[in-house]
Chain A
Amino acid sequence: MRLIARLHHYFTPHTSNNFRAKLLHNSGLLLFIGIILSSNVFIRLLDSTSLHILGFTSSITINEVVIKTNEERIKAGLPALNYSEKLSDAARRKAANMLEENYWAHNSPSGKNPWVWFKAAGYNYLYAGENLAKDFGDTSRMISAWMASPTHHDNIVNPKYKEIGIAVVPGTLLGSDTMLVVQLFGAPGGGALPVDSSPTEAPQANQEVSNNTPQSGEPVPQVKAVTQESVDTLIAEISPPKYNSFELKKVLSLFTTALFIIALLFDLILSESAVLSRRVGKNWAHIVFINIILLAITIVHAGQIR
């Protein structure tokens, strides 16, 4: 009985709560904000421990990225790209450098542009491009995000590219566990003038940047090769966390918000049926606002592209 009385107090207009569900009082709203903030702090603390309960999980594989990229090209009426081990070597070097120098960009803080990794891997190109992604749980969502971005889309369906190289490398970047994906495109060339493009540049067709072959005075980074075997070993060594922290935060937000909407609905229906005259905010406007936020949560996913 006490439990039912409490539920009435928190969810329905009643004499005990001045005819407004207690959860909808300003103190109740503060409670919702407090629950979300404190659960977020708790998840972050759990994430930072060495218990490895929370973290980032991903099912992305090199094979899938190549297949889905080629599917998009075929849809656009273009030939499929050939997988290049040299381009993949360049992609692994780029991913390793991002983890080493701890940055999330096309150019490193020490000034290395994407094209130095092509040279370091010994890939002579006529045209080249780079797409980056991190924090994606699956390949389809990552490819969709790239296709939705005009500059990344232009790289995927660029008719000048003939080959593709992929690196899928787990690691800790900017303080968070992640799965980095480096997608490199190229058209192998001989002595012709090379042209580079990356999504960060202006969308004009393949901006001319630098010569392909290392020139005198132009340093080629002395970076040791990162083999696919070493990446595979790294993936095998890292035991996957039990829960994805982003998804857990999402579920907690959805649960708290659902509770708020239930309180609003009960209060709305019961106050209207009892013809209560109260000076309060519009319940159903609040429901619309929070539902729009919920829709935005379902649209948004963890991944980021560059």
Chain B
Amino acid sequence: MQAKLDNHMIKDVLENKLDYSILALISGTYLVMAYRFQTDYSYLFDLTLGFALGYFLWGIYHHLRNHTLHIRIVLEYFLVSALGLVIISTLFV
């Protein structure tokens, strides 16, 4: 089961190198900036908002390229992005 999962994931990554490189770049930038501005709440919120928006747009772009985009998938990425934003923002409200 694990081997099948690994094979599928490796195949998926190899087929979508550009997409996953963009996701890695967005994530890495967010982490570095969050570490740099960890005590500035308003900046951290803006930064997380940008990261959540970036992830939402990445999801649409990725599924558009793979011809698997559907309104339910758009809503799913929107809600996952919103969940990330809510997790961070509620800590400081």
List the interface of chain A (C-beta within 8 A of B).
26, 29-30, 32-33, 36-37, 40, 44, 145, 148-149, 246, 249-250, 253, 256-257, 260, 268-269, 272-273, 279-282, 284-286, 288-290, 292-293, 295-297, 299-301, 303-305
Q: A36-B90, A253-B87, A292-B30 are in contact. Are A285 and B5 (CB under 8 A)?
A: no
Which chain A residue shows the least CB distance to B54? A289
Give the docked Cα–Cα distance between A299 and B36 (Å): 10
Residues of B whose CB lies within 8 Å of any CB of A are 1, 4-5, 8-9, 23, 27, 30-31, 34-36, 38-41, 44, 48, 51, 55, 58-59, 62-63, 68, 70, 72-73, 75-77, 79-84, 86-88, 90-91, 93
Q: Given the complex of chains A and B, what is the CA–CA distance between A36 and B27 in angstroms?
A: 23
- Is A281 a contact of B77 with CB atoms below 8 Å? yes
Given contacts A32-B83, A289-B84, A304-B41, 4 further A-B contacts (CB under 8 A): A36-B83, A148-B36, A280-B76, A295-B31
Q: Which of B35, B58, B77, B88 contacts A293 (CB 8 A)?
A: B88
Bound-state Cα–Cα, A276 to B51, Å: 30
Residues of B within 8 A of A29 (CB): 76, 79-80, 82-83
B48→A273 contact, CB < 8 A = no
Q: Is the CB of A33 within 8 A of B83?
A: yes
Docked pose: A260 CA to B91 CA in angstroms: 18
The answer to whether B59 touches A282, judged by C-beta atoms less than 8 angstroms apart, is yes
Kindly list chain B residues whose C-beta atoms are within 8 Å of the C-beta of A268.
Answer: 5
Asked whether, in the complex, the Cβ of A293 is within 8 Å of the Cβ of B84, the reply is: yes
Of A40, A256, A282, the most chain B CB neighbours within 10 A belong to: A282
Q: How far is the CB of A241 from chain B (nearest CB, A)?
A: 18
Are the C-beta atoms of B91 and A289 separated by less than 8 Å?
no
Task: Collect the chain A residues with CB atoms within 8 Å of residue B40's CB.
Answer: 304
Residues of A within 8 A of B8 (CB): 272
B84 adjacent to A279 (CB under 8 Å): no
Chain A contacts of B77 at CB under 8 A?
281
Q: In the complex, what distance in Å separates the CA atom of A138 from the CA atom of B83? A: 30
Residues of A within 8 A of B84 (CB): 289-290, 293
A24 to chain B: closest CB distance in Å? 8
**CB within 8 A of B91: which of A37, A250, A288, A305?**
A250
Distance between Cα atoms of A272 and B7 in the complex (Å)? 10
- Verify B86–A33 contact, CB threshold 8 A: yes
Closest to B36 in A: A148
Contacts of B80 in A (CB 8 A): 29, 281, 286, 289-290
Given known A-B contacts A145-B39, A253-B91, A299-B34, A269 and B44 have beta carbons under 8 A apart = no
Can you offer 17 A-B residue contacts whose CB atoms are under 8 A? A29-B76, A29-B79, A30-B79, A36-B87, A37-B86, A40-B93, A246-B91, A257-B87, A269-B5, A286-B80, A293-B48, A296-B44, A296-B88, A301-B39, A304-B39, A304-B40, A305-B39
A284 touching B35 by the CB < 8 A rule?
no
Pairwise interchain contact A297-B55, C-beta atoms closer than 8 A: no
Say how far A238's CB is from chain B's closest CB, in angstroms.
23
**Chain A residues near B59 (CB, 8 Å)?**
281-282, 285
Beyond A273-B4, A280-B73, whether A290 also contacts B83 by CB under 8 A is yes
